[in-house]
A = this chain, B = another copy of it.
Amino acid sequence: MPVEFADRMKNIKGSEIRELLKLTENPEVISFAGGLPAPELFPIEEMKKVSVAVLEEEGRAALQYSTTEGHGPLREKIAQRMNDKLKTNISKVDILITNGSQQGLDFAGKIFINKGDVILCESPSYLGAINAFNSYQPKYIEVPTDENGMIMEALEEILEKTKNVKMIYVIPDFQNPTGRTWSLERRKKFIEIINKYEIPAIEDNPYVELRFDEGFLPCLKALDTKGLIIYLGSFSKIFCPGYRLGWTCASPEILSKFIIVKQGADLQASTISQREVNKFMEMYDLDAHVEKIKSVYKVRRDLMLKTLEEELPEGVKFTRPSGGLFTWLELPENIDASELLKKCLENNVAYVSGEAFFPNGGKYNCFRMNYSTMTEDKIVEGIKRLAIALKEFM
């Protein structure tokens, strides 16, 4: 059947992570591949009470269509939370509820990108974002990064000599995949630069509340003076991903575009999910829940870093994230992480090879490991298996 697809479909391929997740469903496999929250921390008992309360108190409204922007009280709580935690100065009207922050990425591509336009991003960057943007046929320029995040001199140099940059995509806190966090200085400089060039920037910030130490850094949105930052937030990592709820926070002119795009895309996020998450925040203490998550992930991060240190051979480097879900490993130049992965899968341990995180490809010796999903004993056992595979391979 010779059905003709649109040109953009040539750019779109399935996410390697989601394909890999199917392989790792085998319970024998110790998987550091996903970015899954620890399911044993989900507030199951609380959500039983919450579900019944929502249906009892507001059942008809909860099961009906609702507004595209999202449930008012939930948007209000999100705005308040951002102001409290991240020092933004926003309100309910600046928030659109989306299906996870992933949907905000797709919408950003739709709103800003003509075919051939340039997106700047960190090198490496989140592959789910790259997959979303690819529908709109952009070109990418990867901006070099170091342990303090995107390198601002490099960013400015690229902006100076590149036409058609329509959007900059960044993850300033506990980046996916590297786990790195931007310094305050870089954040301020970034705002200065985007103000000068007047380029909108997507601040993808799903992990920001999962900081393991006492430090504080303002989000880019809190430093934004020209309304150029589009902040994407999510309940997936601080609550549960199963509800598929996230949000976009942007200045009115930009947010209005997100809202009409949301209308056409799927009318609105789930009414009942929105009301359930809102009710959870009324009946229980989300802060306390986040604290619990953080304390567990901190132990797992510590254990993963310690075990990597002990088990891995010389010549393998890894990042030391101060929050979030991931560490990023660099192998000696001559080792291809996707070849190594095949060996690892034989040994029932998995990670995500690094190449897919570089939108222009070409980097083969790195990979991402998640420390939030696996329990402590599995973290140790999994790294041992990885080390064995790696030593055989080297």
Contact = CB atoms under 8 A, between A and B. Distances in A.
Interface of A: 1-9, 12-15, 18, 21-22, 34, 36-37, 39-40, 42, 44, 47-48, 51-52, 55-56, 59-68, 98-100, 102-103, 106, 110-114, 117, 128, 131-132, 134-136, 166, 198, 200, 226-228, 236, 240-244, 251, 253-254, 257, 259-261, 263-273
A217 to B, nearest CB: 25
B244 A267 contact: yes
Listed from nearest, the 5 A-B pairs whose CB atoms lie closest are A51-B51, A44-B59, A242-B271, A63-B240, A63-B242
Copy total for this chain: 2
11 contacts: A1-B227, A4-B112, A6-B114, A14-B259, A14-B263, A42-B63, A51-B52, A64-B241, A128-B264, A131-B263, A240-B272
A57 B68 CA distance: 32
A55 B47 contact: yes
B266 A3 contact: no
Contacts of A200: 3
Contacts of A117: 6
Contacts of A244: 266-271
Given A1-B227, A18-B267, A47-B63, 20 more contacts: A3-B254, A6-B113, A9-B111, A14-B259, A15-B263, A36-B65, A44-B60, A47-B59, A52-B52, A99-B99, A102-B266, A103-B265, A135-B261, A135-B264, A242-B271, A243-B270, A243-B272, A244-B268, A244-B269, A273-B273
Contacts of A98: 266
Tell which of A59, A102, A131, A265 has the most Cβ of chain B within 10 Å.
A265
Contacts of A265: 102-103, 106, 132, 265
Given A6-B111, A228-B3, A260-B14, A64 B242 contact: yes
B260 A13 contact: yes
Nearest to A61: B39
A251 B15 contact: no
A2 B14 CA distance: 35
Contacts of A240: 63-64, 272
Contacts of A228: 1, 3
B242 A65 contact: yes
Most chain-B Cβ atoms within 10 A of its Cβ — which of A3, A7, A55, A99?
A3
B59 A12 contact: no
A270 to B, nearest CB: 5
A42 B60 contact: yes
A356 to B, nearest CB: 13
Contacts of A68: 18
Contacts of A136: 6
B1 A34 contact: no
Contacts of A268: 244
Nearest to A271: B242
Contacts of A259: 14
Contacts of A40: 60
Nearest to A267: B102
Contact of A39 (B64, B128, B260): B64
B128 A267 contact: yes
A380 to B, nearest CB: 23
Contacts of A110: 6, 8, 135
A85 B360 CA distance: 48
B264 A242 contact: no
Contacts of A241: 63-65, 271
Contacts of A15: 263-264
A237 B55 CA distance: 19
A1 B2 CA distance: 46
